[in-house]
Amino acid sequence: MNAASCRRLLRQWLVPGVLGVLLAACGGGGGDDGGGPPGSIDVSAANQDLLVRAGVIAIQGDVIGGALGVAASPGRAAPLASGLRKRIAALIGPEVEACFVSGSTSSTLDDRDNSGAATVGDVLTMTYNDCVEVAGEVTNGTFIATYTQINPATLTIAANVTTSDMSSVSSTRSVTAQGDFSLQLRFVSVTSETLHLAVGQALAMAVTTPRFSDTITLRAGYTTDSVYDSTILPPGGTVAGLTSTTASGQVASANAAGYVTVRTLQPMLQYDVDANPRSGQFEAVGKTGSLQATVLSTTQVQIDLDADGNGVFDASKVVLWSDLF
């Protein structure tokens, strides 16, 4: 799933709950790394592929998609779409709604101030019961979102989200997520929006594909910032839409048996039509050693390794996205 699909998902989720209120209206995330060391493990030739994979998952839309139980492939509707289209402002619930293909969602708004509309402090609980919005992709589990900001003047909405059992399964990938994060979505214009995400205690995603299985954990203070513009065309392309993402913070991999600090050096740029980013660069810094991953194209990534941490790359190689995922 690409970042644009996740962004559309969040628009569909957050907007219905506050749309009435709103209409009555590149730098890194800079997250706190908790003051600890940059990593608990050394970066080496043995684990560089694992760490690049973990970094890509953390930086790209898989963060949000995994957390909300999404395993959609690029350019396809997100599984949460139908349940999140409902106007939460009018919802007290529980309200059960059929998903597009099969299954259902159950939604309840805890209207804390009895205003009859979504306001700051209200709590949305949404449960997915074998929900299939796209054929072959099944979502289950519950998330709880507490609205923290609804600002008509700046067209900004925000919420704190927790989940302990969200899962999504498709023919090519399964994701199970638990943890908490805050997010803020701002509509810059009718064609552009920004999204800020910050992990609270931790956000763990167990990801399985035909090629690998790992649990990627975004540690406390991890942040991502992205900008989406639906009018930008890829070179020579006819389908518009571009997401630019930066990120910073500690990312753990169960397979690597520890964590490193990940930071984008150049924004990751991904068009709606692409399964992978077209450009971008990030670093992963460990207890000793570091690496840089540079996107060469939608099919290739270059990995430069500085295993001894002396600031000089010891080795370099080019790998296929398909080799990683």
pLDDT tens string 287-310: 999 999 999 999 999 999 999 999
Dihedral sign, CA of 81, 82, 84, 87? positive
Task: Give the pLDDT of residue 296.
Answer: 98
Whole-angstrom distance, CA of residue 323 vs CA of residue 49:
9
Mean pLDDT of 171-183: 87
Cα–Cα nearest to 318, from 131, 4, 297, 38? 297
Mean pLDDT of 309-315: 95
The pLDDT of residue 47 is above 90: yes
- Contacts by residues 102-109 (CB-CB < 8 Å, ≥ 24 positions apart): 102/130, 102/131, 102/132, 103/128, 103/129, 103/130, 103/131, 103/132, 103/138, 103/139, 104/129, 104/130, 104/131, 105/129, 105/131, 107/83, 109/17
Whole-angstrom distance, CA of residue 26 vs CA of residue 172:
32
Task: Give the pLDDT of residue 32.
Answer: 43
Mean pLDDT of 139-168: 87
The pLDDT of residue 48 is above 90: yes
Whole-angstrom distance, CA of residue 325 vs CA of residue 312:
28
User: Is 109 strand, coil or helix?
Assistant: strand
The pLDDT of residue 20 is above 90: no
pLDDT band at 253 (very low <50, low <70, confident <90, very high): very high
Mean pLDDT of 56-67: 64
Exposed, middle or buried by CB within 10 Å (0-12, 13-18, 19+), for 198? buried
310 vs 92 pLDDT, higher one: 310
Top-ranked range on mean pLDDT: pick from 142-146, 186-190, 191-195, 267-271: 267-271
Task: Give the pLDDT of residue 19.
Answer: 40
Dump pLDDT digits (tens) for 112-135: 888 777 789 999 888 889 988 778
52 vs 156 pLDDT, higher one: 52
Task: Give the pLDDT of residue 36.
Answer: 64
Task: Give the pLDDT of residue 55.
Answer: 94
- Cα of 292 vs its chain's centroid, Å: 21
The pLDDT of residue 78 is above 60: no
Top-ranked range on mean pLDDT: pick from 7-11, 62-66, 175-179, 236-240: 236-240
Give me the percent of the chain exceeding a pLDDT of 70: 79
Go through the chain and tell me how many residues it has: 325
Whole-angstrom distance, CA of residue 228 vs CA of residue 8:
10
Of the listed ranges 17-26, 148-157, 231-240, the least confidently predicted one is: 17-26
Tally the C-alpha atoms within 13 A of residue 119's C-alpha that lie toward its C-beta.
Answer: 7
Angle at 212 between CA 211 and CA 218, to 5 degrees: 140
